[in-house]
């Protein structure tokens, strides 16, 4: 096992979501990260969160170890996540965006791989999985407060809010740190006596992802309809040959006060209000590459209901809790809170908050 008696390290046993929360809260303050910049602490905490969450999702329990190895000009933070679950049948697929065998988004391991400087997986059927991720950082000087780690520019958050015919909505989005382009976008438009609420997460990052997302929105605008299935077919055809995108589409019917939702890939949706909470389910897939059988969900709406759609760039682990706790606040304030507090530093992020009339 990694580490020696003289190497500061953290060993944590994972047995449920409560353990993940405790670990994520404690790791930034642990001595194993002494001298590490705030930016790198955030990235390492995100890696730890993703690997610990995977243990809970796929194996139920396991262990996570974080240790440090100092060199002359840098510091290696090694993270080992181990479980005794069923194992991963296809390791190559497991590290591709949008692949999942557990009914989840399939983005935890690809996200970790993108953030880490070194990464590998070993998995055996019915014996479990071992994941290794290393983040190499430069240490902050103890003689002054200068940050010697590379500094990423703070990514600006964009806010769009509107009120139309009693419908209030707000869209908050932000590219990942250090990049001016975002592949996560959303839009609300009137159609067929109701409203379409759309959220998109294009595969990858940067200008190429932004162009794919913008193209998908343009196709939806030209083919806007209350028939959710038709929209998915149009966008799927339009994105063939590109990196593809995850998409969530919701139609809110004025006359029946019902909403219809379908999602493909890493999109999520929820509604909270006087009638309780509803959570939308998205199918694994990537529009433009792999279109699954759509799962159309319906639920009734009541005046004052708050509806939220978001991409995986926002921490799914915490967003429902934040929305439920703050549902009484204005849509724009909630959207800002979600992106500013829960957006992951290594990924684009977007959410749409909407108040039914």
Last residue in a domain, options 71, 106, 137:
137
Write the pLDDT tens digit of every residue in 102-122.
433 334 677 788 888 888 888
User: Are 125 and 176 in a shared domain?
Assistant: no
Does residue 27 lie within any of the structural domains? yes
Walk across the sheet containing 128-137 and list its strands.
Answer: 9-14, 62-70, 75-83, 128-137, 118-124
pLDDT of residue 50: 86
Average pLDDT of the chain is: 84
User: Which CATH number is 32's domain given?
Assistant: 3.30.565.10
Of 68-72, 181-185, 269-273, 339-343, which range is least confident?
68-72
Residue 142 lies in a domain: no
Higher-pLDDT residue of 2 and 259 is: 259
Q: Are residues 269 and 300 in the same domain?
A: yes
Does residue 31 sit in the same domain as residue 117? Answer: yes
Contact 321, 155 (CB under 8 A): no
In a domain, 147, yes or no: no
Instruction: Answer yes or no: are the C-beta atoms of 138 and 88 closer than 8 Å.
Output: no
One domain, residues 196 and 255: yes
Residues 54 and 86 in one domain: yes
For residue 155, what pLDDT band results from cuts at 50, 70 and 90?
Answer: low
What pLDDT, on the 0 to 100 scale, is given for residue 247?
96
Q: Which pLDDT tens digit goes with each residue over 248-265?
A: 999 999 999 999 999 998
Q: Please report, rounded to a whole number, the percentage of residues in the chain having pLDDT higher than 90.
A: 42
Chain length of the chain: 357
Q: What is the pTM assigned to this prediction?
A: 0.63
Do 303 and 163 share a structural domain?
A: yes
pLDDT above 90: residue 101: no
Q: 56 and 179 in one domain? A: no
Determine the structural domain holding residue 58 and report its residue range: 9-137
Residue 351 pairs with which residues in a beta bridge? 172, 310
At 283, which CATH number? Answer: 3.60.40.10
Please state, for a pLDDT cut of 70, what percent of the chain lies above it. 87
* Per-residue confidence band for 22, with pLDDT thresholds at 50, 70 and 90: confident
Total count of domains within the chain: 2
Same domain, 217 and 87: no
Residue 1 has pLDDT above 70, yes or no: no
Is residue 144 in some structural domain?
A: no
Q: Is residue 235 part of a domain?
A: yes
Residues with Cβ within 8 Å of residue 315, at least 6 apart in sequence: 49, 342, 343, 344
Check residue 92 and give its pLDDT: 65
Residues 75 and 197 in one domain: no
Examine residue 322 and state whether it is found in any structural domain, yes or no: yes
* Same domain as 322, residue 273: yes
pLDDT of residue 227: 93
pLDDT confidence band for 142 (50 / 70 / 90):
very low
């Amino acid at each position: 096992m990694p580490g020696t008696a003289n190497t500061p390290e953290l060993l944590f046993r994972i047995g449920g979501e409560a353990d993940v929360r405790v670990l994520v809260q404690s790791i930034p303050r642990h001595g194993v990260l002494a001298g590490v910049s705030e930016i790198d602490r955030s990235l390492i905490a995100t890696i730890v969160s993703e690997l610990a969450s995977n243990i809970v999702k796929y194996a139920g329990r396991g262990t996570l170890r974080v240790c440090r190895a100092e060199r002359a000009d840098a510091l290696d933070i090694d993270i080992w996540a181990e479980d005794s679950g069923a194992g991963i049948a296809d390791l190559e697929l497991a590290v591709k965006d949008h692949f999942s065998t557990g009914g989840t988004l399939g983005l935890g391991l690809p996200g970790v791989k993108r953030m880490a400087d070194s990464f590998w997986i070993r998995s055996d059927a019915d014996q479990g999985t071992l994941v290794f991720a290393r983040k190499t950082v430069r240490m902050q000087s103890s003689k002054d407060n200068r940050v010697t780690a590379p500094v990423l520019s703070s990514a600006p958050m964009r806010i769009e809010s509107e009120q139309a015919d009693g419908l209030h909505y707000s869209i908050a989005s932000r590219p990942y740190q250090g990049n001016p382009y975002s592949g996560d976008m959303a839009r609300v438009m009137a159609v067929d006596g109701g409203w379409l609420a759309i959220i998109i997460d294009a595969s990858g990052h940067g200008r190429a992802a932004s162009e794919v997302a913008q193209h998908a929105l343009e196709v939806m605008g030209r083919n806007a309809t209350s028939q959710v299935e038709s929209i998915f077919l149009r966008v799927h055809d339009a994105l063939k040959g590109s990196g593809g995108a995850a998409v969530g589409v919701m139609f809110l019917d004025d006359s029946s006060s019902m909403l219809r939702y379908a999602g493909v890939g890493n999109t999520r949706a929820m509604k909270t209000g006087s009638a309780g909470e509803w959570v939308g389910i998205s199918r694994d897939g990537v529009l433009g590459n792999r279109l699954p059988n759509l799962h159309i969900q319906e639920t009734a709406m009541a005046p004052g209901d708050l509806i939220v759609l978001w991409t995986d760039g926002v921490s799914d682990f915490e967003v429902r809790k934040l929305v439920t706790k703050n549902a009484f606040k204005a849509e724009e304030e909630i959207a800002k809170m979600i992106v500013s507090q829960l957006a992951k530093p290594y990924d684009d992020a977007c959410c749409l908050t909407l108040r039914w009339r």
